[in-house]
């Protein structure tokens, strides 16, 4: 699975959030693509989109939407001939995710809270875009108040963000376990001696727990069927 991250931020070099996310995005199947002030090469942008399975719009929320550079990219790159399902339909079946960074707590975006509107309400234009282009919309990935996060929170953010970029089936527990096992196995390939053995044991234990859980779920399903 190939992931393309389209990053819209007017001062990328000064954003600690984006610097952190860029470092966390390094993966052979992930492409970091930051928009800048240069004129867009439409054919080049469209080629990148065709190659991707998961397309991420990543931006800080400015006035309840993405910065102008992303809108300019949409207006320029997503031509009718390329994107409309009745015409090119180049994005049909691809995934669309939003990575939104907030200067305020995420809890401020709710009815009755200071911002009054939820992020699900504010991102309706992107929901409409995905619907029109027959893309599958992913739940948004929210990074709020990065500067106030503890080191532990940042480590969790790093793992969650990597999962958001690379885990094939997001939002499913099975997918999560598979993803963790694959990642740990990849790390272990670079270890040796006792470290390697210890990590191998951990991986086995995770797999065993997962198998046990599956067995329990099967039993539960049988019991439920017996009740009907």
Is 174 one of the binding residues for a copy of itself (CB under 8 A)? Answer: no
CA–CA gap between residue 112 and residue 118 (Å, rounded): 10
The residue within the footprint of a copy of itself, chosen from 93, 125, 139, 168 (CB under 8 A), is 125
- Binding string to a copy of itself for residues 128 to 167, with x set by CB under 8 A, is what? xx-xx-----------------------------------
108 lies in the binding site for a copy of itself (CB under 8 A): no
Which tokens hold the place of 44? Answer: 């080049």
Instruction: Give start and end residues of each alpha helix (H) in the chain.
Output: 16-24, 42-51, 68-77, 80-83, 119-122, 124-132, 151-166, 173-188, 194-227
Strands 95-102 and 141-144: parallel
Q: List the interface residues with a copy of itself, window 74-103 (CB under 8 A).
A: 74-75, 78
Q: 99 or 130: whose CB is closer to a copy of itself? A: 130
Q: Does 209 bind a copy of itself (CB under 8 A)?
A: no
Q: At what angle do helices 173-188 and 151-166 cross, to 10 degrees?
A: 100
- Report the residue from 31, 79, 121, 140 that binds a copy of itself according to the rule CB under 8 A: 121
Helix, coil or strand: residue 21 = helix
DSSP string across 122-172: HTHHHHHHHHHTTPEEPPPEEEE-GGG--HHHHHHHHHHHHHHHH-SSTT-
Candidates 45-53, 111-119, 141-149, 167-175; binding stretch for a copy of itself (CB under 8 A): 111-119
Nearer to a copy of itself, 63 or 148 (CB): 63
Q: Least Å distance between CB 128 and a copy of itself?
A: 4
47 lines the binding site for a copy of itself (CB under 8 A):
no
Q: Hey, which residues does 143 pair with through a beta bridge?
A: 101
How big is the site for a copy of itself, counted in residues (CB under 8 A)? 27
Site residues (vs a copy of itself, CB under 8 A):
10, 62-69, 71-72, 74-75, 78, 115-117, 121-122, 124-129, 131-132
């Amino acid at each position: 699975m190939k992931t393309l991250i389209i990053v819209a931020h007017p001062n990328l070099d000064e954003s600690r959030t984006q610097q952190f996310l860029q470092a966390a995005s390094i993966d052979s199947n992930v492409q970091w693509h930051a928009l800048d002030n240069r004129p867009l090469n439409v054919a080049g942008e469209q080629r990148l989109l065709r190659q991707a399975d998961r397309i991420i719009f990543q931006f800080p929320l400015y006035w309840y939407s993405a910065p102008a550079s992303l809108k300019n990219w949409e207006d320029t790159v997503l031509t009718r001939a390329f994107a409309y399902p009745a015409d090119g339909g180049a994005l049909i079946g691809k995934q669309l995710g939003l990575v939104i960074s907030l200067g305020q707590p995420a809890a401020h975006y709710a009815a009755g809270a200071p911002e009054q509107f939820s992020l699900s309400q504010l991102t309706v234009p992107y929901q409409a875009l995905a619907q029109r282009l027959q893309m599958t919309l992913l739940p948004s990935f929210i990074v709020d108040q990065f500067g106030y996060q503890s080191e532990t929170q940042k480590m969790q953010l790093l793992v969650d963000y990597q999962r958001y970029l690379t885990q094939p089936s997001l939002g499913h527990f099975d997918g999560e376990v598979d993803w963790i096992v694959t990642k740990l196995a990849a790390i272990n390939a670079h270890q040796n001696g006792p470290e390697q053995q210890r990590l191998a044991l951990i991986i086995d234990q995770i797999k065993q727990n997962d198998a046990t859980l599956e067995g329990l779920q099967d039993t539960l399903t049988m019991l439920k069927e017996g009740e009907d």
